[in-house]
Amino acid sequence: MLDLQSKAPAVVLIRRVEFDALLVELAREAGAEIVEGADVNSAAQTHDAVRLQTRDGRSFQARFVIAADGVHSVVARRLGIMAGWPRSALAIDMMEETPSSVMRARDPDSLWVSYGFAPHQAPTSTQLSAGYGYVFPKQGYVNVGLGYLVTDFRGSAPGNAYSIQRGFVDYLKQKRVLEGDSRRECFTPFLIPIAGPLRTSAYRRVLIAGDAAGFVNGSTAEGIYYAMVSGDLAARTLVGAVKKASPFNGMDYSTAWKAEIGAELRDSVAIQQFLFADSRRIDSVVHGAGARSGLTESVVRWLVGAEDYRRVRRLILTRNPVAAACLAAIVLSNRFPRPGRWI
C-alpha cells in the first residue's frame, strides 16, 4: 500500500454529464448548430462530400466529418475503416456514480486506486484475474468502479457485472473507504479500447477522434484527455485546409496526433502488456514509487500537465534499464492487436 500526498491540488474532478453539457454550451456559443436525437446508422463518401443517415430517415451532408462517435464508431465501421474491436483490444469499466447522500467516500479529498484488485478480495468470490479498482470523490457524488480486460471478464466473471460491483462496494465499506450503499440505477458498465490507435485515423474526408480511433491510455484506460487533444487537432486540420483553400490531406492530422500523443499511447500499451502479464511487476512499481519520491513526483507533475512526457519517459527508462529493455522488446515485436497497430 502506498499513500501519495501532493502539496498542491493534483486533480480536478467533474461529473461527465456536467462536462459534456459545458462542451455543448461552449460549442453553441461559438456558433455551432446542435442537432439532438440524430442516431447515425449509415455513412458514405463521394469525391466531394460525406453523407450521414439517421435511423429516423434524416440525412446530413458535409465537406468533412470528424467522427468522435465512441468505441463502437458507426462511421468508422460503415466506411470500412474497421470491422470492430476484438475482445483482446477492449476493457470493461464497471462504474457507479452515486449521490453523496446515498454513498460517499470517507475521505473526500483523496483518490483511492488499486491495481491488481481481484474480486476474490471482496465478499463475492471469483476466479477473475486481477483488475483495476477506484474511488473518485466528486462534489455531491462519488465514482466507484472496477475495470478488467474483456477477455478475462467474459471467461471468468461470476454472474452479472453489478453483482461484482456490489461486492466491491461491500469490501470498500469493510475497509472504511466508503460508507452508504450502492445503487443499481447509478451503475453503468461500458467498454473502452485499450490496444492503441487504429491503423487508419484519416480516410478521405473523414477524421476519427477520441475512443472511436482508439485514443485511450492502455494502462489507465483514461481517454478524455486524448479525446480533447485529438478533437482539437482534427478541427485545426480542417480549418487549416479550408483557410488555405488547398487540397485536403488527412495525413496532416495523423502526423499531428502522432507528434502530440503518439509516444504516450504507444508506451501505454507496452506498459499494459508488461505489467499485467505478472502482478508482481505491479507490486514492484508500487514499492518503487514509495522508495523513489523524486521520480514519483515527476510522474505526478506529468499527470497534472506540469511536466513534458518525453522528459519523464527518459528519466524513468534511464533509471530502470531492465524495464526499458522489456518495453522496447514489446514495442519492437509489434504485438499490438491488428485494429490498434499504427507504428
Which of 187, 203, 192, 189 lies closest to 70, judged by CA? 192
Which of 258, 213, 255 lies closest to 237, judged by CA? 255
Query: What is residue 103's predicted lDDT score, i.e. its pLDDT?
Result: 97
Q: Which residue has the higher pLDDT, 282 or 151?
A: 151
Contact by Cβ (8 Å): 234, 253: yes
Q: How many CB atoms lie within 10 A of CB 1?
A: 5
Mean pLDDT of 8-22: 88
pLDDT tier, 287 (very low <50, low <70, confident <90, very high otherwise): low
According to DSSP, residue 277 is labeled: T
Kindly tell me if the per-residue pLDDT of 94 is higher than 70: yes
Q: Which are the contacts of 135, defined by CB distance < 8 A and separation ≥ 6?
A: 105, 111, 112, 113, 142, 143, 144, 172, 177, 178
Q: Which residue has the higher pLDDT, 142 or 296?
A: 142
Listed by start position, the domains of the chain span: 35-85+195-340, 87-193
Mean pLDDT of 291-304: 64
Kindly tell me if the per-residue pLDDT of 29 is higher than 60: yes
Let me know how many helices (H) and strands (E) the chain has, helices first.
11, 13
Contact by Cβ (8 Å): 339, 87: no
Query: Strand 40-45 relative to strand 112-117: parallel, antiparallel, unpaired?
Result: unpaired
User: Among the ranges 234-238, 276-280, 320-324, which has the highest mean pLDDT value?
Assistant: 234-238
Residue positions counted in the chain: 343
User: Among the ranges 93-97, 126-130, 158-162, which has the highest mean pLDDT value?
Assistant: 93-97
Kindly tell me if the per-residue pLDDT of 144 is higher than 80: yes
Mean pLDDT of 295-309: 67
Q: Which residue has the higher pLDDT, 237 or 10?
A: 237
Domain 87-193 = CATH 3.30.9.10: yes
Mean pLDDT of 10-37: 92
CATH homologous superfamily, domain 35-85+195-340:
FAD/NAD(P)-binding domain (3.50.50.60)
Kindly tell me if the per-residue pLDDT of 283 is higher than 80: no
Contact by Cβ (8 Å): 121, 144: no
Q: Which residue has the higher pLDDT, 244 or 179?
A: 179
Cα separation, 260 vs 237, whole angstroms: 14
Mean pLDDT of 75-84: 92
87 alpha-carbon distance from chain centroid: 16
Kindly tell me if the per-residue pLDDT of 70 is higher than 60: yes
List the single range of 10-24, 167-181, 224-238, 295-309 with lowest mean pLDDT.
295-309
Query: What is residue 15's predicted lDDT score, i.e. its pLDDT?
Result: 94
Q: What is the pTM of this model?
A: 0.85
Kindly tell me if the per-residue pLDDT of 182 is higher than 70: yes
26 alpha-carbon distance from chain centroid: 23
Cα separation, 306 vs 6, whole angstroms: 13
Query: What is residue 254's predicted lDDT score, i.e. its pLDDT?
Result: 94
State the average pLDDT for the chain: 83
- Cell numbers for 95, please give them: 462504474
Mean pLDDT of 242-266: 87
Q: What is the CA angle 211-215-218, rounded to 5?
A: 105
pLDDT tier, 272 (very low <50, low <70, confident <90, very high otherwise): confident
